[in-house]
Structure formats: C-alpha cells, structure tokens
Structure 1
C-alpha cells in the first residue's frame, strides 16, 4: 500500500492508485515511471516525486521510437 501524498493538482491528501496501462507506454511505461492517479481529481503524476511525468513520458516515447523504428523498418523491407 502506498502512503498518502498531496496531489499536485487538487492538493488533497490521497492514496494514489497505480496506473496499469497508458497509450504512450502500454503496461511497461507506467511502471517504469511510477505513474499514479489521484482518486479525487484523476490527475496523473509520478508517485515517488509528486511531480508531473510529462518530460519523462516525452523522453520515453522518443527513445522507444528511436529504438524500434529501425527494427520495424528492417522487418518490413526484408
């Protein structure tokens, strides 16, 4: 069980719930970035730092595309 934290959006003291799946990271991304959701206002943020994950999500997406785009290109052009 996670401890109560202050939500960065609504400032309520809540026990955030882990996010299981997102469009940008599937099932793995939210676990890597400790992505949680406030049950009061549904804002999503980093459960460890309490800060938004926007920058980390952008880096995750760019790195994932950089790694898998050449692989997909190679498979499609064989």
Structure 2
C-alpha cells in the first residue's frame, strides 16, 4: 500500500480489528467512532478526523493491522 492520503484513516498502533463501526456509503461526522482495535487486551477507538462519506473500507473484524496502515477512506 502507498502512503496515506488526505481522506485516509490509519491505525494509530498495531493490533487486531475488533469492530468496524461504519459501512461504505455511510455519511459520518468528525469525531465519529470508525473502528475499534485491540492491542495488549486494551481497546483503542479510531475516531474520524473529518466528516464525509465512507468511500472504502480496507479491513474487517479479526484482521491484524500495523501502525500507519490505512483502515478506510473518507471522501
């Protein structure tokens, strides 16, 4: 995968995707919870940095992710 773009939301840390809280086509607002990641038995929520429409989702529940990996794109 290439570098993250302006509309990309990335994993803040490595872990396993616990829950994806949005779906493609959904309109979201800045501050909405997008994804929950579990790492070392702690859950971290990825929060939208901007509002818009979910264009694509690159992960699903149970997927391992690395820090900086693109999780989804907001347009």
In terms of fraction of residues, the more strand-rich structure is 2
Q: Same-fold call, TM > 0.5?
A: no
Greater Rg, structure 1 or structure 2? 1
TM-score relative to the length of structure 1: 0.28
TM-score relative to the length of structure 2: 0.28
In terms of fraction of residues, the more helix-rich structure is 1
